[in-house]
Amino acid sequence: MEMSDVLWIKIIGTIPAMLWVAFAVTVFFTLRGTLVQQMVPRLTAVRALGVEIELAAELLDRAQDESRATVTATARRTALGRLEHAADVLRGGKMLWVDDRPEGNAPLVELFRAVGMHVDVALSTEEATPLFRRRPYDVIISDLDRDGDRQAGIKMLRVLDQYGIDVPVVIYTGRFDPERGVDRRIFAATTAPVELVHYVIDLMERARLGPP
């Protein structure tokens, strides 16, 4: 067999492989636009989710530093996990936070705003009253002591009753003693940021589901 015949046999033998390569290249360039369109939003969402969770963790840690409560690593992870999975529930929620020292709550206010909630801040019952009278809130967070009045938070509950405003109230304060009892109007009371996160998610889930 001559050299030219051997060469042609080798060339013919490589044609199927070349056809497969050409076919694969054609399919890749044909579907590339579709693949990119499908993958980029997912990658972007994952990246954004990572940033949100990272930010939430940082803000929760800052809030913990501001509070007097202790928290375990497990409780921290659980709260962050609920925040991640409750993103759709929290987004668009409306919160009113009443406290005469808002600087201590700044990390948590920022956290709830970061997950898409609208948060109004008032320094007193007098400031809060026109807000909750004209805007429907999903949850009100309040302290107890304001300007030397240890019953300021409780008195605000009576104002809510006076105007027939049925919004759940969570007491968040560094000096709450659960053994003294909880007013019937209070949904929950806590000194711990991670517990507050759970209560807000619970209330937003209830608000989204509506009355039974």
Domains delineated in the chain: 53-209 (3.40.50.2300)
Q: Report the alpha-carbon distance of residue 185 to residue 2 in Å, rounded.
A: 101
Cβ atoms 125, 98 nearer than 8 A:
yes
Beta 186-190 vs 169-172: how paired, if at all? parallel
**Radius of gyration over alpha carbons of the chain, in Å?**
29
- pLDDT tens track for 103-158: 999 999 999 999 999 999 999 999 999 999 999 999 999 998 888 888 899 999 99
Cβ atoms 97, 122 nearer than 8 A:
yes
- pLDDT tens track for 169-209: 999 987 666 555 567 889 999 999 999 999 999 999 998 87
First to last CA, the chain: 90
- pLDDT tens track for 83-100: 988 988 999 999 999 999
